[in-house]
Structure 1
Amino acid sequence: MAQSDIRRYLKHGTLPQLRAFEASARLGSFTRAAEELHMAQATISVQIKKLGETAGLPLFEQVGKRIQLTDAGQRIYAACSELFRVLSEMEHALIEIRGAARGRLQLAVPPTATHFARRLLSAFVQRNPAVQPSLQIHDRLALLERLRSHQDDLYMFVELPDEREIFAQAIVPNPLVVLACRDHPLAGEKSIPFARLASEPLLMREPWAGTRTIILRLFARHGRTPKIRMELSSDEAIREAVLAGLGVSILPRYTIGLDPVLTNLVCLDVEGFPIESHWHFVYPVGKRLCATARAFMDFARVEAKSLFRDCLRRASAETRSEVLDVAQYARAPF
């Protein structure tokens, strides 16, 4: 790029314009960019139009109902990505120089982890009030996309991504249990054979959900194919379907009973359950973690276990389940 072009960008191209452009290019949608940046779509369009005028070339073209980068747009997008990466590193370096947990901390989690992540962030911010937390909630596919493009400081996964260049730290156990309505024929039975579970209609998360991968792997080990009656996009929707008698499901133990109206749910005593799984903090190996993110990970090593146990106790008390002895997790040396 000629020096005159660089001077023109420095004079007329603003960070808000570049931010609006980068988000639109990455997400492939002005609407999704507006949602992520908490801006009106009209504002996004104006910012991108001004940036295009500065470039003297169109940055997007319409292909059907989707937008696509032009050659000029691809060049600017690559430069934007590098610019924001450098600015993020600069911010982190300044935080380290100040020597305290402060500034932005962005955690991205799946919907299943929302309650636990909120409690963990809340406890951390109470001790470090200068921290500005951000909790991004996305399905597994979106989390993987954000992980690959280094959009957040830390990510939470149960089923670890296939990416080789990642660092993963186990935080707390995340036992999966078989959930049914209280008047289900199997409620109250002891040591239910897995084959009996396999004959029940099963309510499952969408194909890309991490817990679904674990469940399918378990059925495969038993040489069984689950009888999937319905796929739902959230644990809350699954719990409601279980209450309606549409089938049984396999969900994380601590998510059961967080809502007091769900007292008609029980955990079935199926052989091989609960399934052992863990929540992990994940980030790319090449990513330089800021001091605040490192402090948060250190905090989680110490405090996450007690917070998680509290979630389990509350879940057990609110569902009044007698099948699963939650005390075994409270006593476990995690």
Structure 2
Amino acid sequence: MRHATFRQLKVFESVARHLSFSRAAEELHLTQPAVSIQVAKLQEHAGLPLFEQMGKRIHLTAAGAEMLRASRNILDQFREVEETLAQFKGVSGGRLNVAVISAGDYFLPRLLVEFAGRHSGVSINFDVCNRRDLLAKLAENQTDLAVMARPPVDADTLNEPFAPHPYVIVAAPAHPLAGKRRIPLARVVREPFVTREKGSDTWTSMQEAFGPRLQELNVAMEIRSTETIKQAVIAGMGLGFLSAHTISRELRAGSIAVLDVQGLPLVGNWYVVHRSGKHLPPVAQAFKSFLLADGERLVTEALEAPPPRRRRSR
């Protein structure tokens, strides 16, 4: 194992955590063949298979489980060294590690540019992922800060709101309900809907917005991609329930319409989240303070056509 590299260990840990070469490639911004090559090289160094194929799924071998334990120890030690060195650098020259759920990808880059402009020399490691992967990154100390709409309630984290997060029902501009006023929710649920998958933050917000009427919802299609949902709505395939922060470009272009539904928009919050026992590096603490002080203004500016705030989520 003396010739194994840090890169190989990092790639292997990602594959082992996801039990998927494709998801590891997506997380690490590599091609799947590149991931496979790095794992194959590590297996050569180990002299033992680290994964085994059972049906369509891969599983860790006993040797792979031991390699995973050792890899995480090594990666944690490197992170500790990075954090210690960051203390000497302070904010300027520090490295900010932040991850966000997919809806936040529509505004967080703008905030990161603003923050970096205030602190010269800051480097940024920015990752966009779904809720499950984001919570895993927090639990495994792979990110300093997480930006999310619904922080975990059963984890040892500090969760602080910094900006409102409205959800709306959208339609194609030619839809019969577009332009109508005070549409009853009972009328809306009869329309076909294109929705995010169950378990996503958006689906959970739908449960809150629709209440018992969610059982009446006419789900025409379930899609994991917000961008694909928008295109389906624009094409007239159904209504959508989306974060208002994801549709500002379409609203400006007039290609999508927000329906005036009674009781909506549902307004929750964006949260900055980190492990409660984590000692944040100066640059992460500075970015957290930046979000708490200026995040609401900057996020609101990113939403170019914000709907009126009528009801806050519980």
How far apart are residue 64 of structure 1 and its match? 3.6
Residue 117 of structure 1, aligned match among 108, 125, 149: 108
2:133 is the alignment partner of 1:137: no
**Mapping 1:1-334, distance limit 5 Å:** 9=1, 11-39=2-30, 44-45=35-36, 47-221=38-212, 225-259=216-250, 262-312=253-303, 314-315=304-305, 324-325=307-308
Rate the CA distance shift 1:198–1:66 in 2: closer, same or farther, 3 A: closer
**One-letter amino acid of the counterpart of residue 106, structure 2:** H
* TM-aligned CA distance change 1:19 to 1:239, over 3 Å: closer
Counterpart AA for 1:302 = A
Unaligned regions of 5+ residues in structure 1, if any?
A: 1-8, 317-323, 330-334
SS in 1 for 2:179: coil
Cα distance between partner residues in 2 of 1:102 and 1:279: 27
Structure 2 alignment gaps of length 5 or more: none
Q: What's the offset of the Cα at 1:46?
A: 5.1
**Distance apart, 1:173 and its partner CA:** 0.3
Q: Deviations over 1:208-232 (max 9, x none)?
A: 2102111123322558532212222
Percent identity, aligned pairs only, is 37
CA distance in 2, matches of 1:192, 1:42: 51
Q: How far 1:269 moved relative to its partner?
A: 1.7
AA aligned opposite 2:147: M
Tell me, in whole angstroms, the C-alpha distance in 2 between the residues paired with 1:88 and 1:103. 13
Shift of 1:299: 1.0
Partner-residue secondary structure (3-state), 1:185: coil
State the distance in 2 between where 1:40 and 1:204 align: 29
- Structure 1 residues 157-200: Cα deviation after superposition (integer angstroms, max 9, x where no partner): 21233433222111210111221222322222222222222222
2:11 aligned partner, one-letter code = A
How far apart are residue 17 of structure 1 and its match? Answer: 3.1
Cα distance in 1, alignment partners of residues 233 and 21 from structure 2: 38
SS in 1 for 2:248: coil
Q: CA offset at residue 36 of structure 1?
A: 3.7
Distance 2:69 2:4 in 1: 15
TM-score by length of 1: 0.82
RMSD over aligned CA atoms reads 2.7
1:238 and 1:223 map into 2 onto residues whose CA distance is: 18
Superposed CA deviations along residues 116-160 of structure 1, whole A, max 9, x for unmatched, are 111111111122232221221222232233333222222222123
Could you say if the C-alpha distance between residues 36 and 243 of structure 1 is closer, same or farther in structure 2, counting changes exceeding 3 Å? closer
Residue 292 of structure 1: SS of its match in structure 2? helix
Letter paired with 2:243: P
Is contact 1:158–1:211 with CA below 8 Å preserved after alignment?
no
CA distance in 1, matches of 2:123, 2:85: 15
Partners of 1:179 and 1:41 lie apart in 2 by 36
More off after superposition, 192-201 vs 47-56 = 47-56
Q: 1:265 to 1:24 in 2, by over 3 A?
A: closer
Q: Could you tell me how far apart the structure 2 residues matched to 1:208 and 1:32 are?
A: 18
Q: How far apart, CA to CA, are the structure 2 residues paired with 1:293 and 1:165? A: 18
SS at 1:174 equivalent: strand
SS at match of 1:112: helix
- Which whole-Å CA distance do the structure 2 matches of 1:238 and 1:33 have between them? 25
The 3 A distance-change label for structure 1 pair 62 and 231 is closer
TM-score (structure 2 length as normaliser): 0.86
SS at structure 2 position matched to 1:258: helix
1:276 is paired with a residue of what secondary structure? strand
> Could you tell me whether the CA contact under 8 Å between 2:91 and 2:122 is conserved in 1?
no
